[in-house]
Amino acid sequence: MNTATTTGPLTGVVVVDLSRALAGPQTAMMLGDMGARVIKVEAPGTGDESRGWGPPFVGPEDAPESTYFLSCNRNKESVTADLKSPEGADLLTRLVRHADVLVENFRPGVMDRLGFSTTRLHELNPRLVVLSISGFGHDGPQGGRAGYDQIAQGEAGLMSLTGPDPDSPTKVGVPIGDVLAGMNGAYGVLTALFERERTGRGKVVRTSLLASIVGVHAFQGTRYTVAGEVGRAAGNHHVAIAPYGLFRCDGGAIQVAAANDAQWARFAEIIGLDTADPRYDGNARRVARRDELVADIEKKLLEQPPAHWLALLDAAGVPAGEVRTLDQVYDCPQTRSQGLVIEVDHPSLGTIELPGPAVRFDDSGRAGHRPPPRLGEHNESVRAWLHGLDG
């Protein structure tokens, strides 16, 4: 094991990753980013199902790599095992005994049928933190349902809030339910590890795609639970703040967020609107007349290109920005200055760039990153490590 690539706040923590697709792998990758040793257990022959998700695939024709898989499996080792076989069950038993965390996102009941109920896991290792991620929760009237991101986006209300209008429910352009569940899983695991320092025992942490999406309803949630209003999609403009959204200019568009009256006054002055116009006196009036306001703003903005307005708004301290494509984002010097693009040396792809972790530490962190593993790449080294521990 290359210790130079595994330093970080979680150095010494061992994670067994039984998950596949995205939510569980996202959790395990985040823990690996922080220095944990992550051992990903995959089915022989096929591995994590996301290894087959594409195109695009990259690399040699006889061993193509899915860019989907590459997105959520850095800083891991891969071993293969059929968990239904005696040999696979034995390997998992040995891993559990020496692990700090186990991550799984099987449908509820699968771990029990494999012989690794939470009771059994804690018999093997009382200090083990177990993370279980499901689609709709492990219990309740729909606890056994399988969960995929877009289904959860629809059932958890997110699609009804997204899109150009109430009649066009739209999914988010990334698998946001999976990613949020992965983030919540990492948050729960770290909390349980912290508690273990006091109690000496691990516990079971649960989250779901449903819980993770409902958990980010933010003001749209209280808009219903407190005020009784059901939010619906409103396109590219904020439903409670104005002006706050996307505005057309000459040859393009910009986004402006005038979140208070002072910012509104500076914005209006720059584009030549009357700051004393009683129609737009206060955020509530601006929200009530949003369509009229947007039309008045765009009439002014269409006189000049985006760059002209962005320069003036930046100088005046009015929050504004352009809408970038992903190539522009990853090539942006600011993106790269934040460590959001990392280089890894992949065994078959050579040096490649990956999106980097979102959390940084001033005085600690990984000295480098491991590439997403080839299927079964660490079969021998992980088994040798276990043999050394077991004697």
Catalytic positions, written as ranges? 178
Q: What's the token pair of residue 8?
A: 């970080």
- Under a CB-based contact definition with an 8 Å cutoff, are residues 19 and 101 in contact? no
Pairing of strands 37-42, 77-80: parallel
d(CA 256, CA 245): 6
- Under a CB-based contact definition with an 8 Å cutoff, are residues 104 and 131 in contact? yes
| Residue (of 3, 2, 53) closest to 25 by Cα position | 53
| Residue (of 228, 246, 333) closest to 297 by Cα position | 246
The one-letter amino acid at 280: Y
d(CA 234, CA 355): 30
d(CA 116, CA 9): 29
**φ, ψ dihedrals at 66, nearest 5°:** -80, 130
Q: What's the token pair of residue 255?
A: 């986004």
Q: Which residues contact 53 (CB under 8 A, 6 or more apart)?
A: 66, 68, 69
- Under a CB-based contact definition with an 8 Å cutoff, are residues 73 and 354 in contact? no
Q: What's the token pair of residue 47?
A: 């591995």
Q: What's the token pair of residue 347?
A: 């065994």
d(CA 185, CA 26): 9
The one-letter amino acid at 26: Q
Q: What's the token pair of residue 218?
A: 């933010």
User: What phi-psi label fits residue 218: left (phi over 0), alpha (psi between -120 and 50 degrees) or beta?
Assistant: left
Q: Which residues contact 352 (CB under 8 A, 6 or more apart)?
A: 70, 343, 344, 346, 371
- Under a CB-based contact definition with an 8 Å cutoff, are residues 212 and 134 in contact? no
- For residue 227, the number of C-alpha atoms closer than 13 Å in the C-beta half-sphere is 8
Helix axes 86-98, 379-390, angle to 10 degrees: 60
